[in-house]
Amino acid sequence: MLKYEEIAKELEKNISQNELEQGSKLPVLETLMGQYQASKSTVIKAISLLEKKGLVYQVRGSGIFVRKQKRKGYIRFTNQGFSGELRDDKITAKVIELDIRKPTQEAAESLNIDLDEDVYYVKRVRYINGQTLCLEESYYNKSIVTYLNNEIATNSIFDYISEALGHKIGFSDMYLHVNSLTKVEAEYLGLQEGEPKLFVETIFHLNNAQPFDFSRVTYNYQQSQFFFQSTGYSM
């Protein structure tokens, strides 16, 4: 882990351990530089990392402040997958299909691979505290996600990718649609055909910017309250 990541981790620990409220002021740059024996640019990188994570915000000329989520019980939209964000909730999954196949046109384009390259295709229903959360179809670039099996797919595939395969997950592009459930989707989710659904297609990239996962997820609207932080910028 690089210096600025360590500093960010330290600050994050500090915020949670001291249960700092939204608006709590962090030490000024100079203090942090001294405290962590780090250069100005290193501390700035640590702070913008925390800013990206929505844990702090910076007020020009005034300082760095703690940022907190106002409401509870919302799933945070994130590029780290669900489980990472739902440690308090029990996330399980039932694998419906898992095989190696050729990508669809859309999957190939999203993953920047050719139609004749292999992908791991995983179709599963995910549950939150025993209730259906979503129906997920994922296409993993097999040259990156070199191995998957049912047991792995029953748990967090992202944990496996980062911990077992050692990949670092980077940014993601999400495309949201709202529509009505088809008969088949409704059956998987235990809902009625025609009930509303949130449909999210996501292209997940490694932190070297290579797309590794294209997922198409249909959410159970009854379970889905999403929280989404947008970082401020002024231009």
Name the residues that contact a second copy, by CB under 8 A: 1-2, 5, 8-9, 12, 23, 40-41, 44-45, 48-49, 51-54, 57, 59-60, 62, 65, 67, 69-71, 74, 77-79, 109-110, 168-180, 195-198, 203, 205, 207-209, 219, 221, 224-235
> Taking the complex as a whole, how short is the minimal distance between the CB of residue 121 and a second copy, in angstroms?
20
Question: Considering beta carbons, is residue 93 or 181 the nearer one to a second copy?
Answer: 181
Residue pair 25/72 in contact by the 8 Å Cβ criterion: no
Query: Which residue from 129, 131, 161, 160 is spatially nearest to 144, judged by alpha carbons?
Result: 161
CA dist., res. 84 & res. 21, Å (int): 22
Question: Considering beta carbons, is residue 100 or 184 the nearer one to a second copy?
Answer: 184
CA dist., res. 204 & res. 217, Å (int): 13
Take residue 83 and report the two structure tokens written for it.
């489980």
Residue with tokens 């703690």, as numbered in its chain: 66
> Taking the complex as a whole, how short is the minimal distance between the CB of residue 160 and a second copy, in angstroms?
16
Residue with tokens 């889905």, as numbered in its chain: 224
Question: Considering beta carbons, is residue 151 or 230 the nearer one to a second copy?
Answer: 230
Question: Considering beta carbons, is residue 149 or 180 the nearer one to a second copy?
Answer: 180
